[in-house]
A and B are shown apart, each in its own frame.
Chain A
């Protein structure tokens, strides 16, 4: 999954396709990028941050100090939390927390799209695509954010578009 995602990110950033391999780690696979200039790099968040710098789009890593730290925080959340959701209960807690976090935000860090939005969007895609209409309405802020990111230029790539209904159907649900 991770390598496909990094390839999508390369396209999104207008970069040429890099050379990847995978290293087994427990039950998951760690992506490894062979760089032209130096040693290989391992890890989804590490490689993604490297690609952003290669494309000279550093603003995607955050502009202020605070944004930079917030971006890295959500990248870690992606690899340590979203990638390890094993139970329905875990999924619910994660969506609930994200829904609460996104209540007063358009993007995850600051007022522009960052790498945190892109990788969280990729990571949540299979989960959101699986939600019922009612669940999407329950996690209204996540849905609004997700819909917004999937329409951002170049981000969605090969991923199927997820349908959201703008009018509330289950109006008694909070």
Chain B
């Protein structure tokens, strides 16, 4: 199978980390952000996974799921709930914050207030267990981590009041496949690496 990612696309982070943690025999190809890979989609959408059967997965979360399923990990209600929350509630806010700070140059503190409620939700759920779905790192952790990393990498002071989130974030960030994913997408630069990608996105309403 082939995993297509593009430089500076924040959604690449979770799929690269999940591939490193759970998948075998994945060939990784780097493309320009506007290259079209998935034959049935009219707009370019990356990351994408081309399966050996010739089918495509074009949702980053579904790609992460595929890797964990292939590694024999079953997914229950709690995992599904986190994945759906990430896609429907967290992601829109994160996109808006990244757009405001990186493209529109708004003050970091101002934009971060927008995501306070979501970060608190994550933190509250980590007070009684080390990871989102239990004692071990799961696909839910990688998906949520991948979403908030672009925000928190440079702005970790925000986490002073949310100690369980801070501990969890550090634990996941320290995993070797996560570090490698960050290196290969950030290339030692800050979140400004996402600027070209974000500029092509419609302004969040």
Of chain A, the residue at the smallest CB distance from B49 is A69
Which residues of chain B are near A79, meaning CB under 8 Å?
84, 87-88
Name A's interface SS. helix
The answer to whether A66 and B53 have CB atoms under 8 Å apart is: yes
B55 within 8 A of A: yes
**B-contacting residues, A88-111, CB 8 Å:** 93, 96-97, 100-101, 103
Taking CB atoms and an 8 Å cut-off, the chain A residues in 11-43 that contact chain B are 25-26, 30, 41-43
Which residues does chain B contribute within 8 Å of A66, judged by CB atoms? 51, 53, 55, 66
Number of interface residues of B (CB under 8 A): 29
Say which residue of A73, A76, A80, A97 sits within 8 Å of B42 (CB atoms). A97
A124, chain B: closest CB distance, angstroms: 16
Q: Mark B88-112, 1 if CB is under 8 A from A, else 0.
A: 1101100000000000000000000
Q: What does DSSP make chain B's interface, helix, strand, loop or mixed?
A: helix
- Is A161's beta carbon under 8 Å from chain B? no
Query: How many CB-defined contacts (below 8 Å) exist between A and B?
Result: 80
Interface size on A, residues (CB 8 A): 28
Task: Please name all residues of chain B whose beta carbon is closer than 8 Å to the beta carbon of A69 when the two chains form the complex.
Answer: 57, 62-63, 65-66, 69
A68 at interface, CB cutoff 8 A: yes
Closest-by-CB residue of B relative to A44 is B84
